[in-house]
Amino acid sequence: MFTLYGDKVSGNCLKVKWVADHLGLAYRWVDVDVVAGEAKSPDYLARFPMGQVPALELADGRRLAQSNAMMLYLAAGTTLVPAEPFAHAQMLQWLFWEQYSHEPAIAVRRFQKFYLGKPDEAIDPALMTKGRAALDLMEGHLSGHDWFVGDGLTCADVALVAYTRVAHEGGFDLVEWPAVRGWVGRVEQALAIR
């Protein structure tokens, strides 16, 4: 058994939880309220110096940060991580892209609009431009594929769905991206999430 520290409003936390649930892994969830600053408390920072959620602690005391690293650790040896080297590299490609080009636009805009209640004019307009570009790229890929890598669900899909499924909370209406919307439904069904 391991312990997962996270905030359930965070897609980065949920994607690790979804992998654990999908694989039937036993774990303990500890709520960390990021908005209240709990991830920056001295006790939390002593255990997790990066001061972020999610954080994973194994029964033997080893700790791991960064959601995609956690997903890959938990899913090692399963169908969520392709064994074939090129497919494996493609999955990693999408995971890196998700954290560099997708999450920093869509998740940040969602947080500012939905959780902080900022009006559109108070949010950096570049976030909308970058988020739309990310969704356009996803639409192009998914127009010819059901999944991001291969013929089934992988960690790439889990990572990308976390904030895409709630993109409307950041002002991105997925009606404009029908292939993305269809893929979100497939991933939600595969992971048994609503």
The whole-number pLDDT of residue 35 equals 85
β-bridge partners, 57: 3, 63
Following DSSP, what letter does each residue of 137-149 receive, concatenated?
A: HHHHHHTS-SSSS
Q: How far apart are CA 163 and CA 101, in angstroms?
A: 12
The whole-number pLDDT of residue 194 equals 79
**Which tokens sit at 105?**
């636009």
Q: 56 CB contacts (<8 Å, ≥6 apart)?
A: 2, 3, 4, 5, 16, 63, 64, 65, 70, 73
Number of neighbours of residue 173 by Cβ within 10 angstroms: 10
| C-beta separation of 74 from 22 below 8 A | no
- Which letter does DSSP use for residue 176 in this model? G
The CATH number of domain 2-75 is 3.40.640.10: no
Return the closest-CA partner of residue 162 out of 90, 88, 57, 54: 54
Q: How far apart are CA 176 and CA 71, in angstroms?
A: 29
Q: Where are the alpha helices (DSSP H) in the chain?
A: 11-22, 42-47, 67-75, 85-97, 103-110, 125-142, 155-164, 178-191
CATH number of 85-191: 1.20.1050.10
Return the closest-CA partner of residue 97 out of 163, 9, 26: 163
The whole-number pLDDT of residue 84 equals 97
β-bridge partners, 4: 29, 56
The whole-number pLDDT of residue 144 equals 96
Which pLDDT tens digits describe the chain residue by residue (194 residues)? 999 999 999 999 999 999 999 999 999 999 999 889 999 999 999 999 999 999 999 999 999 999 999 999 999 999 999 999 999 999 999 999 999 999 999 999 999 999 899 999 999 999 999 999 999 999 999 999 999 999 999 999 999 999 999 999 999 999 999 999 999 999 999 999 97
The whole-number pLDDT of residue 152 equals 97
The whole-number pLDDT of residue 88 equals 98
Q: Could you tell me the residue ranges of all domains in the chain?
A: 2-75, 85-191
